[in-house]
């Protein structure tokens, strides 16, 4: 049997914060890699993707780690959600004792919903691109003398459909709102806020979330209008 500490809400909140920061780490590297889409031609993005895939087993371990963090983050979030529902009085006591500006609002109260919407987006996104048509379907290009998957073509084709663009933009708005509250909540769970820093950290959370979600949000729009012109 696991020690009692592993089932405590404090432990679960710390776990959520750490896995949340881990997922943000992935998002930042994904954003930096995807920024190759802004460079002219298909070579920069295809070269980046080919280099990534050449990591072989290292990439596979990273993907398993990423999946593990996703699962832990979601399972722990749902456990905390049901626990707080079953102990409504406790929840009111905690809310009443919060210091600094009130962060209670539609988004903070519906983090599970925004999280599930993001999960739905990720499932669709991975199916569309990671598991989308590959070299056997004709998506082949040449990078530094070697044949590799033309993932740039797939991304451009995906974002030449206005429905996909609208879906990605909507998903990135939900992601931004989820991240804004998630950052601030994680800082709190890890005990990094005090009455004086609370407001500054809330603003910093908003800026960080806008930077990440905004960076992704702009890509489909940029490609859509680039393709159409």
Sole binder of ligand HEM in the list 69, 151, 165, 177 (CB under 6 A): 151
Task: Figure out which of the listed residues 115, 176, 182, 220 binds ligand HEM, where binding follows CB under 6 A.
Answer: 220
- Total of residues contacting ligand HEM (CB under 6 A): 18
Nearest CA among 170, 181, 208, 227 for reference residue 27: 208
Give, as ranges, the residues between 109 and 138 that touch ligand HEM (CB under 6 A).
Answer: 118, 122, 125-126, 129-130
Quick one: which of 69, 179, 209, 219 contacts ligand HEM (CB under 6 A)? 219
Q: Does 224 bind ligand HEM (CB under 6 A)?
A: no
Residues 194-213 that bind ligand HEM (CB under 6 A): none
Give least dist CB 88 to ligand HEM, A.
31
Interface positions with ligand HEM (CB under 6 A): 27, 30, 34, 49, 63, 118, 122, 125-126, 129-130, 151, 155, 168, 175, 216, 219-220
């Amino acid at each position: 049997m696991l020690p009692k500490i592993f089932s405590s809400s404090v432990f679960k909140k710390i776990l959520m914060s750490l896995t949340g920061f881990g997922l943000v780490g992935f998002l930042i590297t994904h954003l930096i890699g995807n920024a190759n889409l802004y460079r002219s031609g298909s070579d920069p993005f295809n070269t980046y993707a080919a280099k990534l895939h050449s990591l072989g087993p290292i990439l596979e371990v990273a993907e398993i780690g990423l999946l593990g963090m996703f699962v832990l983050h979601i399972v722990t979030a749902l456990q905390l959600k049901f626990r707080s529902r079953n102990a409504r009085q406790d929840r009111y006591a905690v809310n009443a004792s919060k210091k600094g500006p009130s962060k209670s609002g539609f988004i903070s109260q519906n983090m599970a919903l925004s999280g599930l919407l993001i999960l739905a987006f990720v499932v669709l996104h991975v199916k569309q691109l990671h598991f989308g048509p590959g070299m056997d379907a004709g998506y082949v290009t040449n990078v530094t003398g070697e044949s590799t998957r033309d993932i740039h073509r797939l991304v451009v084709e995906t974002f030449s459909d206005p429905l996909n663009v609208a879906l990605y933009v909507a998903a990135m708005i939900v992601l931004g709102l989820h991240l804004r509250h998630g950052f601030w909540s994680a800082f709190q769970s890890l005990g990094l806020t005090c009455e004086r820093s609370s407001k500054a950290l809330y603003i910093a959370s908003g800026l960080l979330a806008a930077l990440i979600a905004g960076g992704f949000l702009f890509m489909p729009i940029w490609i859509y209008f680039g393709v159409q012109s």
